[in-house]
Amino acid sequence: MTAFRMPSLGADMETGTLVEWLVKPGDRVKHGDIVAVVETQKGAIEIEIFQTGLIEQILVGTGAKVPVGTSLANVLSDEEAKAGTAAAVVPEAGAPPFAAIAVPRRSVGPPPPPIVVPPGAEGRMRVSPAARRFAQRLGIDLAAITGTGPASAIIRADVERIQAEAMPPKPKAAIGLNLDAMREAIAAAMARSKREIPHYYLQHDVDVTLCEEWLARTNAARPPDSRLLLGALVIKGVALATRRFPAFNGFYREGKFEPAAVIHVGVAIAIRGGGLAAPAIHNVDRLSLDDLMVRMRDLVQRTRAGRIRGSEIADTTITVSSLGERGVESLYGVIYPPQVAIVGVGKATSRPRVVDGHVAVRSIVTVTLSADHRASDGHAGALFLANIGKLLQEPEKL
């Protein structure tokens, strides 16, 4: 049996509030399934599970605020579920109190006989002592209850059912983006970044005329929802360049740089109302441009609807930020720790350039790099940006 724990959704996260469970004890889950929603300063995040098996126990109820690493549920492997075995679990110190909800398990011996009281003041009714005490405490008339226990006895669950029916339904917790809390989280992370990370900044102008011509030909016969955007080509170019220059793809933690084995590019997305998020698209270097475009559209839609997934926040290895659609020609981002680099992309502008000995009007995009001097230096950064520019000269190969 393994524990499903509260994930870390960023270096600045210490706790999260469990808003909603999307599974219950007895449900089978597989790697990548969304099983819960957790509220953080970044908003409500959909949490995936990375075990495959059977949910045996829910250890934390909705509304609980729990530290990162706290066990939220127990998961039985398929083999354990078939064998019907499970070990006892003790919650971590500091975890909030909870009532464990377990999958019903097969009894080893015959079940004990039901405990009922003989007919008394309630006529011929059979009522368990627990149900009688619970009903008396709540002021519920036992005569109004239909028993579902053995021999139609009234059991505590019957009283609880009547209590639930009499209570007005609780309004469902609002799930979405808390923009004020998000701005506070961003401000705290950026302040920490500028205090702790020795940034250096570089700029490189990239001729994207060939990209725009290739996009025009490629998109000519496509419907609008299948067309490629220049942003997809730039993100793919950044991902491929990090293969050659891994010093820009990874994390600086505990006094050393840790290169990432995968390339998960965070895409900065502006949220209406003033928020900003940079969830990741996974394994960008392995995606075709069409697949990348599909994932970009999906990510933007879900992020603006407040449905970011946990792995999209926690797994980013390098970030790309673009304000070209806002008319900005160049931008210098602030690194989001523990990442070590962020690439900024401005809008394409028409500028004069010398091509084959003649002055021509070309479409130019300014690409910038903000990088951590503890993980790389300016020379490597210049080569990294130049490689992005070179890749964008052959868009059909991306």
Distance CA 380, CA 247 (A): 8
Structure tokens given for 126: 């059979």
Cα 360-323-339 angle, rounded to 5 deg: 115
| Claim to verify: residue 163 and residue 277 sit in the same structural domain | no
Q: pTM of the predicted model, to two decimals? A: 0.69
User: Considering only CA atoms, which of 217, 212, 250 is closest in space to residue 232?
Assistant: 212
- Last residue within a domain, chosen from 75, 102, 129: 102
Q: Give the model's pLDDT for residue 385.
A: 98
Do 263 and 346 have their domain in common? yes
Distance between CA atoms of 306 and 47, rounded to whole angstroms?
13
How confident is the model at residue 135, as a pLDDT?
81
The answer on pLDDT for 89 being more than 60 is no
Same-domain pairing of 359 and 237: yes
Report the DSSP beta bridge partners of residue 350: 363
Specify the number of domains making up the chain: 3
- CATH number of the domain within which 163 lies: 4.10.320.10
Kindly state whether residues 295 and 368 are assigned to the same domain: yes
CATH number at residue 187: 3.30.559.10
What is the reported pLDDT for 90? 45
Does residue 359 share a domain with residue 238? yes
Please, is 80 exposed, middle or buried when counting C-beta atoms within 10 Å of its C-beta (0-12, 13-18, 19+)? middle
Residues shown for the chain: 398
pLDDT of 336 reads 92
Q: pLDDT-derived band of residue 140, with 50, 70 and 90 as boundaries?
A: confident
CATH number at residue 8: 2.40.50.100
**Domain co-membership, 162 together with 195:** no
More confident of the two residues 349 and 132: 349
Residue 387 has pLDDT above 90, yes or no: yes
Distance CA 116, CA 71 (A): 38
pLDDT for res 103: 43
Give the alpha-carbon dihedral of 283, 285, 290, 292, to 10 degrees: 40
pLDDT at 7 > cutoff 80: yes
The answer to which of 82-96, 169-183, 363-377 has the lowest mean pLDDT is: 82-96
Round to whole Å and give the CA distance between 66 and 96: 7
Residue carrying structure tokens 């720790």:
337
The predicted pLDDT at position 168 comes to 56
Lowest mean pLDDT among 54-58, 346-350, 389-393: 54-58
Q: How far apart are CA 279 and CA 316, in angstroms?
A: 7
pLDDT in the model for residue 335: 95
**Domain end residue (candidates: 124, 156, 176):** 176
Q: Which range has the worst mean pLDDT, 72-81, 158-167, 280-289, 344-353?
A: 158-167
pLDDT (0 to 100) of residue 118: 44
Shared domain check, 79 and 94: yes
Cα–Cα dist 28/79, whole Å: 13
CA distance 78 to 12: 35
Tell me the torsion sign for CA atoms 382, 384, 389, 393. Answer: positive
Amino acid at 93: A
Q: Are residues 270 and 380 in the same domain?
A: yes
Residue 315 has pLDDT above 70, yes or no: yes
How far apart are the C-alpha atoms of 286 and 266, rounded to whole Å? Answer: 15
Tell me, what amino acid is at 112? P
Task: Say whether both 270 and 156 belong to one domain.
Answer: no
The Cα 372–Cα 192 span in angstroms is: 13
> From the centroid of its chain, how far is CA 382?
32
Q: Which of 136, 155, 176 is the last residue of a domain?
A: 176
Tokens (6 digits) for 347: 């809008």
Same domain, 121 and 66: no
Query: Are both 327 and 247 inside the same structural domain?
Result: yes
Q: Please give the helix or strand (H or E) that residue 45 lies within, else none.
A: strand 43-48
What DSSP character marks residue 186? H
Report the range out of 45-54, 101-110, 120-129, 366-375 with the highest average pLDDT. Answer: 366-375
Instruction: Write the Ramachandran bin of 61: left for phi over 0, alpha for psi from -120 to 50, otherwise beta.
Output: beta
- Asked if the model's pLDDT at residue 177 lies above 80, the reply is no
pLDDT at res. 42: 67
The first and second tokens of residue 314, run together, are 């926690």
Q: Is a pLDDT exceeding 70 seen at residue 176?
A: no
Does position 72 have pLDDT exceeding 70, yes or no?
yes
What mean pLDDT is reported for the chain? 83
DSSP class of 192: H
Q: Are 48 and 66 in the same domain? A: yes
275-292: buried (b, 16+ CB within 10 Å) or exposed (e) per residue?
A: bebbbbbbebbebebeeb
Tell me what pLDDT residue 169 has.
Answer: 53
pLDDT exceeds 90 at position 247: yes
pLDDT at residue number 11: 65
For residue 151, the model assigns a pLDDT of 75
pLDDT digits (tens, 9 = 90+) for 16-41: 888 889 988 888 899 888 899 888 77
Q: What are 289's two structure tokens?
A: 């441009």
Provide the token pair at 99.
């009532």
Which pLDDT score, from 0 to 100, does residue 172 have? 46
- Residue 170 lies in domain: 110-176
Q: Are strands 265-267 and 318-322 parallel, antiparallel or unpaired?
A: parallel
The tens digit of pLDDT for each residue in 369-383 reads 999 999 999 999 999
